Amino acid sequence: MRHDGRRPEDLRPISIERPFTSAAAGSVLVRAGRTTILCTASVEESVPPWKLREDPPSGWVTAEYSMLPGSTAPRKPRDRSGKVDGRSTEIQRLIGRSLRAAVDLRALGPRTITVDCDVLLADGGTRTLCITGGFVALCDAVHALAPLGVDPALVLTNSVAAISVGIVNGQPVLDLDYVEDSRADVDMNLVMTGDGRFVEIQGSAERNAFTPAELTSQMALGEAGLRQLSQWQRSVLGAKWPLDINS
């Protein structure tokens, strides 16, 4: 048993409030354990200048990530004057890459969807929860475009979710919180589509190098957890689920 009573293969309890705000086309407040993140998806009827060279120009999906000052102790200084620290830059690029794996940008048309992920409380797994919750906000934003002639079934070609795995005290475990993450021998993040294809695998030995067998066991834990998260997204989205992964 882990320090919070979970078994090695257990996810933290996950919940969502949707919609959470009225200004954005898609908005969710998502929680996994204590980690709490606001994900909003906003639509602009324009694209980055470099996309205009395409004929016809396709759309774009991007992301921004921020940890609010009160999300950690001690307080995290607020980003000022457009300056984003290296960690936040790396994470928001990961979120954007992951979400684009589920979207046909040509079907989206010449518009941009920005998924903003603001961490209200950080207790491990913020980048992975941003992807899992951000996908739900993205789906709502795409469906909000239907009156403009956008077909969500063509734009949303897959689903995408993410989870952390690692080795703590010699034991592979799923969905690490901060206590586990801070003392893990190995820390990995997995991003996978709903039909079982990997978008990204990030892994490193924080303290001790790991064997091929330990890698295999972590991957198996992660795949099982990602299937659970995909089913959770499906239940949350209901009729807005982009595809039937079992068909």
Residue 4 lies in a domain: no
Instruction: Please count the structural domains in the chain.
Output: 1
Domain that holds residue 181: 14-75+87-237
Quick check: is 242 in a domain? no
Q: What is the pLDDT of residue 247?
A: 39
Domain assignment of residue 247, yes or no: no
pLDDT(133) > 70: yes
- Percent of the chain at pLDDT above 90? 89
- 70 domain-assigned: yes
Residue 205 has pLDDT above 50, yes or no: yes
Instruction: Report d(CA 128, CA 183) in Å as an integer.
Output: 19
Residues 146-178: tens digit of each pLDDT = 999 999 999 999 999 999 999 999 999 999 999
Tell me the per-residue pLDDT of 75-105, one tens digit each, with 9 for 90 and over.
Answer: 998 877 667 788 899 999 999 999 999 999 9
96 domain residue, yes or no: yes
- 246 part of a folded domain: no
Residues 118-124, mean pLDDT to the nearest whole number: 98
Q: The domain spanning residue 95 has which CATH number? A: 3.30.230.70
30-60: pLDDT as tens digits: 999 999 999 999 999 999 999 988 888 899 9
Rounded mean pLDDT of the chain?
94
55-77 pLDDT, tens digit per residue, is: 888 999 999 999 999 999 999 98
pLDDT computed for residue 246 by the predictor: 41
Q: Does a structural domain hold residue 2?
A: no
Predicted pLDDT at 82: 66
> How do strand 60-67 and strand 112-121 relate by DSSP bridges?
parallel
pLDDT band at residue 245 under the 50/70/90 scheme: very low
Looking at the domain assignment, is residue 7 inside a domain?
no
Whole-prediction pTM: 0.95
Lowest mean pLDDT among 81-85, 87-91, 121-125, 236-240: 81-85
